[in-house]
Structure 1
Amino acid sequence: MSAAAARPDGEASATSAANANANAIRAGVRRGLIEHWISLRTPSETAFMVIGIAVIGVVLWVNRDSEIAPGASLNSFILPSIITIQLLFITCYGLATVIVTEREDGTLIRARSLPNGLRAYSTGLLTRTMCELVEMMVLTLVIAAIILGSSFDVGPAGVAVILGMLVLGTVALTTFGFVLGTVFKNPRSVGGWGFLVVGALAYVSGLVQPLVSMPAWVQVIGQGSPLFWIGQAFRWAFLPPEAGAMEPGGDWQLGIAFAVVAAWAIVGLVLAPRLLHRVARRETGSAIEARRQAALQRA
């Protein structure tokens, strides 16, 4: 009798928890969409996006007739690198900057004080990040298609690979964003050392120049990074099959690319929430006030 009576209570508790989680996720999605809409109406952020797209257009236009190998245009190497670097900076550097800023202004500690507040907060961050990512990717690919014309040839398999890697890469690289957001204590540190870390990671991952042209020890580091494999999957979609000879190992390794990035994505799904909860637990009003005073003194 007691077990029968306890079962409905347990089911009610589980249902209540599920509803609370669903409400937190919905609230987070709404918050992320609102924040993204506000950013679109902020002149400085809109100008930054427009300038970035303009620079990409200029780079692609200047190199429209260049080749890195017979039948392989230079833009077919540049465009995958651009997409990968955008993915890195939006999901990693941008996310880290938001987390550190909102740690400093007390947003994170306020989110912690609400029921399921951290779940809503993290969902809002990811929603805003995904909106920015989709926006930049669409604009970049439209500009590339206009400039490259008939040489912009990505078949159905290439589209599937790009979309699949974008999803996996987004999850994987948010790990770096949460790590940077929890390691650095103020936005100025992220803007300095964080930018250097992200830039160095992009360089050793073969996004600036082919990885095979770098020293062997750099190639080892680069192939341990998800960025290299994300970039290789994108290059596979844009470059002809014979261009695989320019990759480490002398061929495309698409299966390994998805496996490595999927492994990083799993690590991210496990690690990121724990990092956020750990940092949120350590935040106190006195710590926030101390950082504010330090910032005022630097100013």
Structure 2
Amino acid sequence: MNPTIYACRLGLSRGWIETKNNTRTVDEWGWYVAVALVFAVVLFFQRDSTVEGTTQSLASVVLPSILGMMVAWSGILGPSGMLTVEREDGTLLRAKATPHGMVGYVVAKLVVIALATAVMLAIILAAGLIFVTELLDTPVTGWLGLLGFAALGLLATLPWGALIGSQVSNPQASFGLSMLPIATLSAISGIFYPITALAEWLQVVAQVFPMYWLGHGIRWALLPDDAAGAEIGEAWRLWEAVGVLSAWAVVGLLLAPPVLRRMARRESGSALEERRQQAMQRYGM
């Protein structure tokens, strides 16, 4: 068997095992449930409000937007956090020392993030549908559209999360570097209220980045046609959404592999020991 294909198969297996181990922990499920409850409370208070220019409740517009936001958060925070933690604990160095180990490592992490994102979306959707029952009438094509945009959204964001994780030296720096911009984009991307309520220049800025288009695409998939009245231009812009997300995916996939290879080449026992010493100093050990 081709060594690369074999490494990919091992990566798929490792990713599945790691996901099963993660979902057996109370902390992991506690995090999922806590996030879902927070968003369910938001939807509860929005359920009786109507979006201006449409017949849709605010909650029915916000729920698809939240799903898009969570895809973007997973795609950025997931790989950036994993890379910095596993550079510091030696996991990445061990993968580098194994023949084709980096291929298996990358495949495994993609599986872990994709499955974790799917579980998170399912839990949020299940909690949200309690208060947004009108989405229960969404046809099968709408749910398929949701899956398609979620997959494209991960492709558009995962490489950029990996790029962030490859450029910082510790988990705290990674979290700070990724959290601030993604939280800012969440505020201006029309997640919790229609983006048309914002200043025009903020609308332009939001449309440059994937998060707005993820929310737009999933709203298109789950909401009826008349819900487009709350969108920019009062229309669904499906091809623009696909185009912007695809552009971010293509550029990220072109940039990430050489940067990650360069990062892996710099991994060594001395570099690992230096990071461990720095970690011990941060924690006062």
Matched ranges for 1:1-299 at <5 A: 19-69=2-52, 70-299=54-283
Bigger RCO of structures 1 and 2 (CA < 8 A, at least 6 apart): 2
Structure 1 position 94, deviation (Å) = 1.9
* In structure 2, distance between residues paired with 1:154 and 1:182: 40
Moved over 6 A (4+): none
Matched-pair contact (CA < 8 Å) for 1:71–1:240 = no
User: Quick one: which amino acid aligns to residue 26 of structure 2?
Assistant: P
Unaligned runs of 5+ residues in structure 1 are 1-15
Q: What SS is found at the alignment partner of 1:152? A: helix
Structure 1 residue 151: deviation in Å? 4.7
Letter in 1 for 2:41: V
The aligned amino acid for 1:134 is A
**Shift in alpha-carbon separation, 1:81–1:173, aligned structure 2, 3 A:** same
Identity %: 37
TM-score calculated relative to the size of structure 2:
0.92
Cα offset, 1:87, TM superposition: 0.7
AA of the residue aligned to 1:139: I
TM-score normalised by the chain length of structure 1: 0.88
Matched AA of 1:44 = D
Q: What is the SS of the residue equivalent to 2:51?
A: strand
Structure 2: stretches of 5+ with no match in the other structure: none
SS at match of 1:66: coil
Asked if the contact 1:203–1:209 (Cα under 8 Å) also holds between the matched residues in 2, the reply is no
Q: Is the contact made by 1:106 and 1:288 (CA closer than 8 Å) also made in structure 2? A: yes
Paired residue type of 1:212 = T
Aligned CA-pair RMSD? 1.8
The one-letter code sitting in structure 2 at the alignment partner of 1:254 is L
Give the aligned residue type for 1:46: W
Q: Is the 8 A contact 1:153 1:238 kept in 2?
A: no
SS of the equivalent of 2:37 reads: helix
